[in-house]
């Protein structure tokens, strides 16, 4: 058997290195015809800044409260006989809620009515005696003293009748008060007393039976800080905006789970003084609540006009970029290059941002693809789709 000769690995190294260098040199050689092709400009979406007459809104937080709220208490004492309502349901003004045992009051009313009839009979008899005495005194058939006695007796009997009628009227009221009715329309709470219990009525320690709160319309109370209150007063003085102190002004409300402010209303009341401890003044908005969606005690957001109407330049918020404290946008000119433009911002209106400085209406700003843009570099602009185009409420 012939054994292969061992090879020396070191003898092949120059050949391998030569081949590697040749490959590298071949790969680095530029192709025929000049420099490599440049990368295409990034595609971006642009929208035109719009100009529109708008109003800035100031937003506050607050709580809902019922327009009317009543604690139902009895006016007479007695044992509770029956509860007539379903707890937690809506009731109307005048609906019967509770009945107190009326038998003692019925007996008092009947007795006083009988006393009144008896007093009336005595008054009629006394009046007849006085009428006869008036005829007799003309013929001197009776003395002046007898005449005066009969006339005054008749007057006293009429007074007794008046007193008896007043006592009957009082007894009739007490009899009516055994039926406890709702003075307002609204939602009733639970019955705090069950039948068979003694009810104390008409005194300082009157028994609380239940409560009723109205549902529609409903109030929203918010606290307005002193600085904002002064701003509104100055706007009213210059005629830019009406004052809620002298006029009803529009407002809008949102519940805790709602986006935007879907419930329109009016500010109908502002407190007459600033709270010195909190530096705020209480304002009240009134809203319709026909569907019963809102309930007293709910947390709400409320906004009111914070300025007069003015023309503003508006852009989508997604067009804004930031470099630390600097806010800027990329503006695409006629040469399709992106220029960085610092801007100053105002309030957000209808999902768009007011630009107070740095941008004019009609200029195109980049809203999509900002991450690929370099200042002064060319871009490939595209118009926005219907879903990304800015929208402003008329």
Residue carrying the six token digits 């209406």: 361
Which structure tokens are listed for 209? 């039976």
The pLDDT value recorded for residue 219 is 96
Cα–Cα distance between 367 and 390 in angstroms, integer? 10
The pLDDT value recorded for residue 390 is 53
The pLDDT value recorded for residue 113 is 92
Cα–Cα distance between 28 and 194 in angstroms, integer? 99
Cα–Cα distance between 20 and 176 in angstroms, integer? 115
Q: Which of 317, 328, 327, 313 is nearest to 375 (CA)?
A: 328
The pLDDT value recorded for residue 283 is 95
Cα–Cα distance between 219 and 266 in angstroms, integer? 10
Alpha-carbon dihedral of residues 241, 245, 248, 253, nearest 10 degrees?
90
Cα–Cα distance between 339 and 253 in angstroms, integer? 40
Pairing, β 43-48 against β 380-382 = parallel
Q: What are phi and psi of 265, to 5 degrees?
A: -160, -160
- The CA-atom distances, in angstroms, between 372 and each of 302, 330, 368, 375, 377 are 40, 11, 9, 10, 10
The parts of the chain modelled with pLDDT lower than 70 are 1-38, 384-394
The pLDDT value recorded for residue 250 is 93
Domains and CATH numbers, the chain: 44-55+310-382 (2.40.420.20), 73-100+179-213 (2.40.50.100), 103-177 (1.10.287.470), 218-305 (2.40.30.170)
Q: Which of 304, 283, 279, 270 is nearest to 226 (CA)?
A: 279
Cα–Cα distance between 349 and 199 in angstroms, integer? 57
- With vertex at residue 206, the alpha carbon angle to CA 205 and CA 212, rounded to the nearest 5 degrees, is 135
The pLDDT value recorded for residue 386 is 47
Residue carrying the six token digits 């805790």: 256
- DSSP secondary structure code for residue 193 in this structure: S
- The CA-atom distances, in angstroms, between 104 and each of 17, 24, 88, 112 are 124, 118, 31, 12
CB-count exposure of residue 9 (10 Å: 0-12, 13-18, 19+): exposed
- The CA-atom distances, in angstroms, between 289 and each of 216, 297, 324 are 5, 14, 46
Q: Is 321 helix (H, G, I), strand (E, B) or coil?
A: strand
CB-count exposure of residue 59 (10 Å: 0-12, 13-18, 19+): middle
Q: Is 372 helix (H, G, I), strand (E, B) or coil?
A: helix
Bridge partners of residue 380, in order along the sequence: 43
- Residue-wise pLDDT for 348-364, tens only, equals 887 888 998 889 888 99
Q: What's the pTM value of the predicted model, to 2 decimals?
A: 0.70
Q: Cβ(306)–Cβ(56) under 8 Å? A: yes
- Residue-wise pLDDT for 267-286, tens only, equals 999 999 999 999 999 999 99
């Amino acid at each position: 058997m012939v054994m292969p000769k061992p090879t020396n690995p070191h003898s092949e190294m120059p050949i391998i290195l030569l081949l590697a260098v040749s490959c590298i040199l071949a790969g680095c050689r530029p192709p025929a015809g000049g420099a490599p092709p440049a990368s295409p400009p990034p595609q971006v979406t642009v929208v035109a800044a719009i100009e529109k007459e708008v109003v800035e809104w100031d937003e506050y937080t607050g709580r809902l409260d019922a327009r009317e709220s009543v604690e139902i208490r009895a006016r007479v004492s007695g044992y509770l006989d029956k509860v007539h309502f379903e707890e937690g349901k809506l009731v109307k003004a005048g609906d019967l809620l509770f009945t107190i045992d009326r038998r003692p009051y019925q007996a008092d009313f009947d007795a006083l009515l009988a006393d009144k009839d008896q007093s009336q009979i005595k008054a009629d008899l006394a009046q007849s005696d006085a009428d006869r005495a008036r005829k007799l005194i003309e013929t001197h058939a009776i003395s002046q003293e007898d005449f005066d006695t009969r006339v005054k007796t008749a007057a006293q009997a009429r007074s007794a009748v008046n007193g008896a009628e007043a006592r009957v009227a009082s007894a009739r009221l007490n009899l009516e008060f055994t039926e406890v009715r709702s003075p307002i329309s609204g939602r009733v709470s639970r019955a705090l007393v069950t039948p068979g219990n003694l009810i104390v009525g008409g005194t300082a320690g009157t028994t609380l039976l239940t409560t009723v709160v109205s549902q529609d319309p409903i109030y929203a109370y918010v606290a307005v800080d002193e600085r904002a209150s002064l701003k509104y007063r100055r706007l009213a003085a210059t005629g830019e905006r009406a004052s809620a102190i002298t006029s009803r002004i529009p407002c809008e409300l949102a519940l805790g789970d709602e986006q935007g402010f879907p419930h329109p209303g009016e500010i109908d009341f502002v407190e007459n003084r600033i709270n010195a401890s909190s530096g705020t003044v209480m304002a009240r908005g009134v809203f319709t609540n026909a569907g019963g969606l809102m309930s007293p005690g709910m947390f709400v957001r409320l906004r009111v006009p914070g300025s007069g109407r003015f023309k503003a330049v508006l852009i989508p918020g997604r067009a804004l970029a930031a470099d630390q404290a600097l806010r800027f946008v990329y503006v695409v000119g006629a040469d399709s290059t992106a220029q960085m433009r610092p801007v100053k911002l105002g309030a957000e209106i209808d999902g768009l941002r007011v630009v107070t400085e740095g941008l004019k209406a009609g200029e195109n700003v980049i809203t999509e693809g900002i991450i690929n843009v370099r200042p002064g570099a060319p871009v490939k602009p595209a118009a926005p789709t219907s879903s990304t185009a800015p929208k402003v409420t008329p």
